[in-house]
Structure 1
Amino acid sequence: MSERVMPGRTDGLITLDVADALWVALTAGGAVPTTSEALTRSPAHARVGYVLLGGLVVATVRARGDQWSVREVEVRRAAADLNAVRMDRHDLVRIGPFRGAPRQECDEETPLRWRQRIAGELRELGSSERAARHEVGRPSHLAGVDWRRILVEQNRDGTRSWWLPRAVVRLLDAAEHAETQWVHAARTRQANAHVAEPPSHPRRARAAVDGRQPTSRQGPTTSPRPYNAELEGQLYSVLSRKPGTSRKVTQWACAVCHTAPATVLDHCHEHDYVRAPLCQSCNTQERPDHLYSNDIRVANRYRRLFDTDTDHWLRHWHRCPGCRARTTLPLPHLAAWTAHIACQSLRPTHRAPRGRKPCGVLRVSWTGSQQAPRSCLLTVAVDFCPSGEHRLLAQVPYREAVERFRHWLAETAPTVAAAAGPDRLDDLPAQPRPVIVDTNGEGLALF
């Protein structure tokens, strides 16, 4: 190592090798695993003027000769932010592969594009196990995060899928957004410097244009703005066809977590109304398993929406004027609520090492649709019962489920219930839209 990191000298420049060692030392006790070559191995590329560490952009400086350096204080700040991240390894978000999903817009000058990178590497290597064994001693990373150590691969019925902890997905989404903002801001500064540079400083102007010397150590000054119901009442089928909609969505912060930048436009599939822009993490959390099939499993991640974050999610679902006016939820969400809340007392338990454990996994199916309430019937059952004795728990007519939900909503979230009701909107169609079928059962095209 060419130089030592001095604990008291936190405002000076350090080489990339020293910064790598400092990054590893500072993040060793964090929940998110990191790599030892965060600043010197691809996709980090110091010559473009910055590197990504966690969710932050760290500017690079060419100090002397061809040696690139970074400010030690910025490395420490990025490490402190990463160490503050709390990661639940059981709270997973599916990151691919998705058949039939639309390609997301990406800026060719922002090389992170972490979803495409992971998909490309895993398709090439064939499986996460082979990926983990590939190039032993040469860690692969994204923004300094060693994603291979926390990647989960599942294979069900011959279908392979890849999953990462939700906290890491949000972190990488934030890094990608920060990178895009930094590149756009740097491009604007370079263009302005090129126009305003007097003829007596041609060398400095050329350096600013070709990117050999960064014009500023500061990152982007803009951040996603809060969503204030600008799209309320608009139809997704109309809005999604307008050019530039996807780029406009990224200007907002997620309307649920209010921290990550939005990437998708969530909408009600039964009424076609736009709800709000969401980040990928919240959009995946909101999605029921087996979307808009005739049955869903009420997974742990989905049940939490009716427990710890009830008020936020009910308010989000009622951003759809159709659901709000009818004081209900879309059929898959209402089915999940019926299984988890209305039938909770019917779910048996079994002995476990630490007390008793709820039996199996809840599953709810339905016949008919919400367009014919009299014939729509919800059937709540238990899958994977340890003793094989429990199957059918209850059969609840659709109208009864709606009535139960209205009473529960009034008690649980009175402010949300107060904003609902048939008198809140007069121009709703007499019949809701038919349920949109997800033909492949795993694409994100509906979001």
Structure 2
Amino acid sequence: MPEHVMPGRTDGLITLGAADALWVGLTADSAVPTASGAFTCSPAHARAGHVLLGGRVVATVRASGGQWLVREVEVRRAAAELNAVVMDRQDLVRIGPFRGAPRQEGHDETPLRWRRRITRELQKPGGPEQAEQREDSRPYHLAGIDWRQMLVEQTRDATQRTWWLPRAVVRLLDAAEHTETQWVQAARTRHASAAVTEPPSHPRQATRPEGTTTSLRPYDKELEGQLYSVLSRKPGTSRRVAGWACAVCRTAPATVLDHCHEHDYARAPVCQSCNTQERPDHLYSNDIRVANRYTRLFDTDTDDWLRHWHRCPGCRARTTLPLPHLAAWTAHIACRSLRPTHPASRGRKPCGVLRVSWTGSQQAPRSCLLTVAVDFCPSGEHRVLAQVPYREAAERFRVWLSETAPAVAAAAGPDRLDGLPAQSRPVIADTSGEGLALF
């Protein structure tokens, strides 16, 4: 990428070292920990023409003496944006490793690629402990953020390690990667069209390229009724999805096309954070843990999530949810009054962790039975709370939907069955041994 040479005065510009110190000082009280060396350590590289700070791109400018500079006001704006981020360290998103996951699309010209960097870093011999000592070969930060301070490592069965970051940080890094991609594409277009012109002679001309501040377009049902199995094979689908804002939170850039695994219909483009939040926590193929985030799905943000799930024509026509989501709803809402409580320092708190499993088949509803249980009771008292037949759970959900989200319920119903597949897709194997299919 061409260098921007700044002859003469450097009005409003500061050195990279000064920018590092300014960044650390301005973000000292931020909920998101930041790192020193945001401008001078990998993956930041001044010669690329920009540096990422949180979700903002800051242009780098080369002065006539060969020194690289940045605009102080841009550093301050990036710090103010980061300081406004609210983070819940208990609201975690798994970032890897994922066995059998499709390879993340990467752009060679965009150096962040944060998931790939973290995975490569943590899979090195010695893991994160020895990685702290490697000064030259590793990235210390991601977009000026010290991700190591927030990384949570969990081990299952004493063998498999998984890595988690707070949801707010995942959204921030996804936004940073998307912003950087836009920056590079816009800069390439600009330089290609102005290849014979002189470089800019004033610092204000070296700011963000045109087009990078353009807001993402909102999703407006453009993919409604289309099958994911068809869309996923179309060239350019990933690029098209990246142009939308997340259809759930409507703030972060979309990264994936969420779809109903039961009916194969595309729901909407969503960001990685919302996609992870929507995904059931499977312990086994027919067993899920009801995590705290279901409070958001079924209590605080109910309307948004119900509308999202009913973007699938199959779920909307049957006025229900895919089986794992219906199971989570049954445990979290329909069986809420059955969950025991224990004395705590401030009153009483719900006992243990809810879990719901099922046997039989959704395609043969009479055989499908949901079992709601409590794991990790402090006194070991509670196990099974209730056993709810599938048909009863679905009927309870319909009644609750009409009371909780009447607009969503009014748009659903059995009169909207034209063109739907006769049978659900066999995604989860049946454990009853009768050859039927769940989910």
Give TM-score scaled by structure 2 length.
Answer: 0.91
In the alignment, does 2:220 pair up with 1:224?
A: no
Q: 1:92 to 1:11 in 2, by over 3 A?
A: farther
> After superposition, where does 1:163-242 map in structure 2 within 5 Å?
163-194=164-195, 197=196, 204=198, 216-219=206-209, 220-242=212-234
Cα contact 1:181–1:222 (8 A) shared by 2: no
8 A contact 2:283–2:289 mirrored in 1: no
Superposition map of 1:376-415 within 5 A: 376-415=368-407
Counterpart in the other structure of 2:248: 256
SS across alignment from 2:123: helix
- State the shift of 1:238 in Å: 1.2
* CA deviations over 1:242-294 (Å, ceiling 9, x no partner): 12211211111110011111111100001010000111000000011017711
- Structure-2 change in CA distance of 1:11 and 1:321 (3 Å): farther
- SS state at 1:148 partner: helix
Q: Aligned partners of 1:303, 1:266: CA distance in 2, in Å?
A: 21
Contact 2:217 2:243 (8 Å CA) reproduced = yes
Aligned to 2:55: 55
Query: Which amino acid in 2 is paired with 1:276?
Result: A
* 1:72 aligned partner, one-letter code: E
1:358-397 Cα shifts (integer Å, max 9, x gaps): 1111010001121000110000011111111100100000
Cα distance per residue 1:220-239 (max 9 Å; x no partner): 14332111110000011111
Instruction: Indicate the residue corresponding to 1:12 in structure 2.
Output: 12
Residue 365 of structure 2 aligns to a residue in which SS? coil
The Cα of 1:419 is off from its aligned counterpart by 0.4
1:28 paired to 2:28: yes
CA spacing shift, 1:259–1:319, aligned 2, 3 Å: same
Instruction: Report the equivalent of 2:436.
Output: none
Structure 1 residues 291-300 or 73-82, which shifts more? 291-300
Q: Which runs of 5+ in 2 are unaligned?
A: 1-9, 431-439
Q: Structure 1 residues 152 and 33, CA, compared in 2 at 3 Å: closer, same or farther? A: same
Q: Secondary structure at the match of 2:386?
A: strand
* Structure 1 pair 225–125 and aligned structure 2 pair: CA distance change class (3 A): farther
Task: Please give the root-mean-square deviation of Cα atoms over the aligned residues, in Å.
Answer: 2.0
Q: Secondary structure at the match of 1:14?
A: strand
**Aligned equivalents of 2:367 and 2:406: distance in 1?**
30
| SS of corresponding position for 1:105 | coil
Shift of 1:156: 1.1
Amino acid of the structure 2 residue aligned with 1:43: P
Q: Is the 8 A contact 1:132 1:148 kept in 2?
A: no
CA contact (8 A) 1:128 1:153 kept: no
Residue type at the aligned position of 1:299: A
Question: Which residue identity lines up with residue 171 of structure 2 in the other structure?
Answer: R
Report if the CA contact (8 A) 1:132-1:149 is conserved: no
Contact 1:288 1:302 in 2 (8 A): no
Distance 1:343 1:134 in 2: 51
Superimposed CA distance per residue, residues 134-185 of structure 1 (whole angstroms, 9 cap, x where no aligned partner): 559x981000000011111000112100000000000000000000000000
Alignment correspondent of 1:294? 286
Q: State how far apart, in whole Å, the 1-side matches of 2:135 and 2:46 are.
A: 23
Confirm or deny: 8 A CA contact 2:38 2:53 kept in the other structure: yes
SS at match of 2:120: helix
- Cα distance in 1, alignment partners of residues 266 and 181 from structure 2: 26
**Post-superposition offset of 1:351:** 1.1
Distance in 2 between the 1:291 and 1:77 partners? 43
SS of the counterpart of 2:249? coil
User: Secondary structure of 1:350's partner?
Assistant: strand
Question: How many angstroms does 1:61 deviate by?
Answer: 0.7
Moved more, 10-19 or 148-157: 10-19
Of 324, 330, 343, which residue of structure 2 is paired with 1:332? 324
- Would you say 1:147 and 2:147 are equivalent positions? yes
**CA contact 1:323–1:330 (8 Å) conserved in 2:** yes
Structure 1 residues 139 and 270 mapped into 2: Cα distance closer, same or farther (>3 Å)? closer
CA distance 1:82–1:176, shift in 2 (3 Å):
same
- Deviation, 1:127, is 2.8
CA distance in 2, matches of 1:362, 1:166: 22
Gaps of 5+ in 1: 1-9, 439-447
> Which residue pairs with 1:444 in the alignment?
none
Work out whether residues 174 and 253 of structure 2, in 8 Å CA contact, stay in contact via their aligned partners in 1. Answer: yes
Aligned residue in 2 for 1:160: 161
Q: How many residues get paired? A: 415
1:36-70: CA deviation from partner (whole Å, max 9, x where unpaired): 11011110111111100110000011122110101
1:80 to partner: Cα distance: 0.1
> Which residue pairs with 2:107 in the alignment?
107
Residue 40 of structure 1: SS of its match in structure 2?
Answer: coil
Distance 2:213 2:86 in 1: 26
Could you tell me which amino acid in structure 2 is paired with residue 218 of structure 1? R
What is the match of residue 68 of structure 2? 68
Residue 432 (structure 1) aligned with residue 430 (structure 2): no
Contact 2:254 2:272 in 1 (8 A): yes
